[in-house]
Every structure is written in structure tokens, then in C-alpha cells.
Amino acid sequence: MNTATLKSSATKSNNLLKPTNLMLAGLVVVLIAPMVAPTYTVTLLNYIGLYALVVLGLVLLTGVGGMTSFGQAAFVGLGAYSTAYLTTTQQLPEWLAFTAGSPWAGLAMGLLLTAAVALFLGAVTLKLSGHYLPLGTIAWGISLYYLFGTMSSMGGHTGVSGLPSLSIFGIELDKGEKIYYLIWAVLAVAILITRNLLNSREGRAIRALKGGQLMAESMGVNTFRSKMVIFLISAIFAAISGWLYAHTQRFVNPTPFGLHMGIDYLFMALIGGVGSVWGALLGAGVLTMLKQWLQDLLPMILGSDGQYETIVFGLLIVVMMQRWPGGLMGLLAKLVPAKYRDHSDLTLNDDAAELPRRELPKAGDLVLEACDVTRKFGGLVANNQMNLQLHAGEILALIGPNGAGKSTMFNQLSSVDTPTEGEVKFMGQSLKGKSSREVAQMGMSRTFQHVKLLPTMTVLENVALGAHMRGSKGVVPAALHLEREEEQRLLKEAKHQLERVGLGDFLYEEAGSLALGQQRILEIARALCADPCVLLLDEPAAGLRFKEKKALADLLTKLRGEGMAILLVEHDMDFVMGLVDRIVVMEFGTKIAEGLPEEIQTNPAVLEAYLGGAE
């Protein structure tokens, strides 16, 4: 096939395979299925829907947030057992009597318990490195499983039977074909709110968790809170699935809530693909069908009964992780060419109101000051008694040979690191004990020496992350998309800053596809989006071409004119000398010179540091 026909066929299939069309088709299939399919298939579809709801939470947690949990089955169990207890027990304790054994009270209780457990587990594991959450959830999953098995009021290992069926608007959902609609409606709502959430200010913060936490904190994102949010959401999805399961089966026992099921949920997410909400549905479907099929097939081949499908699943996951970490959905997504991918959620409205601006300090005011800053790493003194001042409306360059301690100094100034002695003052306040997030909120914004952006997110969204602190709408409005007005304002600001730095043509490109120099410029736009009064730039000109450097210099000059205080660490002397107001030169952790560019160029100590002494 030549390229022309390839293109035209792709366009044609694209029209047909438009996400909205696909979704409509899917909806029709889902609506009709229980009318035409045999009961057995409907039961299977019910299970797939219930599983997909749990797996959706894992997609959010694992695929988006880069964390994982093996305890989702236990949350399902909590949801199921809560309602089983409330709706079947003969003697409700007095304080629960008002619930009258209603399944809705069971749902409420399940959600409350789940939220409490998730908050506790999250509080003790999410601040630690990535391994503690999965290990903690394994322990939680096992403990709850044994607890269900030992509680005689819950029927021990035999379980509880005789749960009532649900009824909505007077319709009794007592058959698989009826509750089917409830299960799939809940799933559809869950998918919708997950997608909404991810396409929002809160969602960008969540998407930064995987590989961008340091950067996100510098943009004012509370990463611990974001982690907690998705862990909580995933637990709540699981609990709702458990509640539905209990009233579908009308019987609960501990078996489906054990750790092995927790592992199965994770496998579903991985096989479907954790990168997309649709992966949840695909994974739950594929794994459920595959399990049915293997459970019939393998005992015949191997000649004895047993759960041999675990061998296949285990190996399948290993191969997937080695070859296709994006799962089935990742494979399918590759079939859609990048330029046809949908950006409908990122429409920009130029009429949106401007975001309020911070009041900048008056030109010449002292904004950032290092007082006798010393930083020691063991015996190495990286910064020794460093002093420097930065004023509003000034560009200050920090230069020095490699290993002079510039980056360490930069980290002290931006509160990523804490000085051993001395202190940094920003707007008159000491930064001692302040996190980089708090410093960002005070009006300091920065770029990174090694570019830190989210390569698979669009340029526009990467930059909008910088404006995180300037929005205030939380998770619930985001999930319901009630924050569209604020979102438009944030995106408009991001677009404005991108146009300002000259990246206006790349709004919808993936940030990772930009050249390195452009990525550095993107970081500047992101920093500007935070509406800072101090801008710290770590080697902004590295990797830029001549014209780009000139454009950057023009931009920085303009920002200076507006009253911004700018500090840059830079190696490119041509760039520095023509642009900055003052220069501080470091060598071996100490300041060896400070002054106007012309003075520095002729300063003997500086010449010796750079060119070597006359020996």
C-alpha cells in the first residue's frame, strides 16, 4: 500500500472509529445485551461490570498515580459485608435501628468504613517510598480475610445468606437481567467521573505523581493529598462494587475477598492496560472470559483438577510487563495515529476571564537573600558562607566553573535543601523548615537543570500544572466538571504563557516530543504560569540555538521590566554578559567575586578560576 491510500484509509476508519461513535455503539450493545443474551452470559456480564468497577480504581491508582494496592478485594469485602450485616441481622444495635435494615444504609456504612480504613492506611504508607503501600495493603487484605472468617456473627467461613434484593423507584432488582442495568449504569458513571477528574486541575496534579513528584511540589501541588485522593477513590469504587455484588448474589462469604482476588484485580488492570479508563473494562472482560475458558481446558490437558489457570495468568503478566507494559489498551491505542487523537477535553475559550495577578514588589526591593549559607555533605563543604541578594526588577547570574557549588546553592535558595548553617530569606521571611511547596506559594518559581516534565502529557497541560496554585476547585467539582470556568481560565493562562515564550504552535504536542531546548523554554512558561515574583532558572540557555537564545534574552528583559526578580545559573557567558545586571561568581563553594558584568570580565580572581593561574 502506498502512503496516499494508507492516509485515506486511516481517515476513513477514523471517522468511523471516532471515540464518540465507538462509545455510542458500546452503549447500544450494553443496553441490548440482557434482552438477547442467555442468563449465563448476563451473569458473566454482571461479574465483568462489578470487576471493572474495582479495576477502574486500580487504573487510577497504578496507571495514573504509579502506586499499587493488593487490598482492593478487601475493600470490596468491606462494602459487601457492611450491607450483609445491616440487612440480615435480627437485632440491630439501637443506634443503628433507624436504618431499618435498608440496603442504602448498608451502602452508607460500607462507604464510611472503607473511607476510614483507606484514610488510615494511606496516612501510614503514602508518605513513605513506593513499596510500603503495596506491602501494607497485602497485610490489610490478609487480615480482613481472616477477620471475616473468624467472626461468628458473620457466619464465619460459611458466610451470610438471605440478603434482600435492591429496589429502585419501586422496581425490584431481583434478577440478574435487572440488576445488570444498575451495575453498568454505576460503572458508566464511575468511568465518566474518572475521566472528568483526570481532565482537570486536580487531575493534572494526580497525573504528575508518576515520575514528577519533585516538580509538582515545586509547582505548589500537595502530592501527599493527591495520592490520598486516588487511593480513597479506588477504595470507594471497590466498596460500591462490593455492595452491588452482595445484593446481586444475595449471599456473601470470605472467599471472593481474599488476597488472591486482590491480585486478580491487579492482573485485570495490567492486562487491560493501566494507561486508560477503558483498559479497566477490557481487562476485566478478557481475564474473566479467559479464566472460564482455562478452567475448562487446563484440567483436561493436565489430567487433574486444580487452579492451573494461575500459571497461565502469572506468565502472561510477566510477558506483558516485559513486552507490552501498556497492556491490551496500549496495543490498541497504537493503531490510532497520533494526529487523530481526541483533544476535545482541552478546548480553549479565549473569552475566559484572566486569572488575578499577584502584586509584584516595587523595583529595587530586596526579595531574596542568602545570609552566610553553608551546606556541608559530610566532610565536603559545598557552600561556604555564601551571601547574595536579589532585588525586584533585576537579573542576577550565578556563575562558576563545574563543581563550584552553584546547584547546591540553587537548592538552598529554592528550599529543596536546607542549609547546615545560615539562612535564606524570601520576602523578609526565613525559609527554614519550609517545604518547596510552601515556597512556591510564597511566589518563587523555578526551572530544573535536568528538565522535569511529564512527557506523555500535552505541552498545554504541562504548563497549566504551573498554575495549580491559582485555582481552588477541588476533587468533587472536578469529577462533576463543575469547575469548567476556572479550568478555562487556567488553560487560557497556560496558552498565554506558551505564546509568550514562543511555543504557541505546540499546544497539543506531547511534551516529550519537543527538542531539549524547547523543553527548557516550556519549563519557563510553566514557572511563569505560577505568577511568581522571583524566577529561579537553572541553565535556561543550555541546548538553545542562537535565535532561541536571543528570544529568551528578550523575554527575560521584558520580565525584568515588569518588576520580576530573576536569578539564573548559567554557563553560556555570551548569553549572561549581554543580559544580566549583576553577577556572582563562585568557586569551591565560596563567592570569589560579585559585580557588574564588565567588572567580572576583568576581575583577576575570576580569570584565574576560569583560565587557571600563571604558574
Partner 1 sequence: MNFQIALILGQDGITNGAIYALLALSILLVFTVTRILLIPLGEFVTFGALTMAAIQMGKAPALEWLLLALTLIDCGMDLYQYRHKLDGRKFQTIGLKLGYVIAMIALIQTLPLAELPMVFQALLTLALMVPLGPLMYRLFFQPLADAPALVLLIVSIAVHVAMVGVGLLLFGPEGARTEPFTDTVFRVGPMMLKSQTLWVIMVSVILIVTLFLLFERTLYGKALRATAVNRTGARLLGISPVFAGKATFALAAFIGTLSGILIAPITTLYFDSGFIISLKGFVGAIIGGLISYPLAAVGAVAVGLIEAFSMFWASTYKEIIVFTLIIPFLIWRSMTSHHVEDDE
Interaction with partner 1 in 59-98: which residues (CB under 8 A)?
A: 62, 66-68, 70
Q: Of 557, 524, 538, 534, whose CA–CA distance to 399 is shortest?
A: 538
Q: Are 414 and 439 in contact (CB under 8 A)?
A: yes
Return the residue of 77, 191, 217, 375 that touches partner 1, per CB under 8 A. 217
Contact with partner 1 (CB under 8 A) among 307, 429, 456, 601: 307
- State in angstroms the smallest separation of the CB of 547 from partner 1: 33
Query: Among 414, 418, 454, 462, which Cα is nearest to 438's?
Result: 414
**Are β-strands 366-377 and 421-426 bridged in parallel, bridged antiparallel, or unpaired?**
antiparallel
| 245: contact with partner 1 by CB under 8 A | no
Which C-beta is closer to partner 1: that of 325 or that of 403? 325
* Neighbouring-strand partners of residue 426: 368, 429
Q: Which residues pair with 162 in a beta bridge?
A: none
Residue 482 in the binding site for partner 1 (CB under 8 A): no
Quick one: residue 208, left, alpha or beta (phi over 0 = left, psi -120 to 50 = alpha)? alpha
Nearer to partner 1, 78 or 397 (CB): 78
CB of 340 to partner 1, least distance (A): 29
- The one among 83, 173, 309, 478 contacting partner 1 by CB under 8 A: 309
> Which is closer to partner 1, CB of 112 or CB of 135?
135
246: enclosing H helix or E strand: helix 223-249
559 in contact with partner 1 (CB under 8 A):
no
Binds partner 1 (CB under 8 A): choice among 69, 87, 125, 414: 125
3-class secondary-structure state, position 144: helix
Residues 6+ apart with CB under 8 A from 155: 161, 253
Site string for partner 1, 419-458 (x = CB under 8 A): ----------------xx----------------------
Q: Does 299 bind partner 1 (CB under 8 A)?
A: no
Q: DSSP per residue over 160-211, as a string? A: EE-PPPEEETTEEE-SHHHHHHHHHHHHHHHHHHHHHHHTSHHHHHHHTTTT
**CA torsion angle for 336, 230, 530, 371 (degrees, to 10)?**
-130
Q: Which is nearer to partner 1, 266 or 360 (CB)?
A: 266
The grid cell for 544 is: 538553545
CB closer to partner 1 out of 325 and 364: 325
The span of 4-12, 88-96, 261-269, 557-565 binding partner 1 (CB under 8 A) equals: 261-269
CB of 143 to partner 1, least distance (A): 5
Q: Which residues pair with 136 in a beta bridge?
A: none
List strand residue ranges (DSSP E) for 400-500, in order.
421-426, 429-430, 444-446
- Distances 254 to 148, 510, 533 between C-alpha atoms, Å: 6, 46, 58
- Of 467, 416, 463, 511, residue with least CA distance to 221: 467
Q: Single out the residue of 89, 99, 165, 213 in contact with partner 1 (rule: CB under 8 A).
A: 213
- Select 210 or 500, whichever has its Cβ closest to partner 1: 210
Q: Tell me the window of 26-34, 141-149, 167-175, 245-253 that interacts with partner 1 (CB under 8 A).
A: 141-149
Q: Exactly one of 11, 143, 158, 601 binds partner 1 (CB under 8 A); which one?
A: 143
The amino acid occupying position 530 is A
List the one residue from 23, 116, 172, 314 that touches partner 1 (CB under 8 A). 314
Q: Binding residue for partner 1 (CB under 8 A) from 71, 77, 106, 212?
A: 212
368 binds partner 1 (CB under 8 A): no
Q: Is 615 helix (H, G, I), strand (E, B) or coil?
A: coil
Among 64, 117, 235, 266, binds partner 1 (CB under 8 A): 266
Residue ranges binding partner 1 (CB under 8 A): 62, 66-68, 70, 123-132, 134-136, 138-140, 142-143, 146-147, 150, 210-214, 217, 223, 259-260, 263, 266-267, 270, 302, 304, 306-315, 317-318, 321-322, 325, 435-436
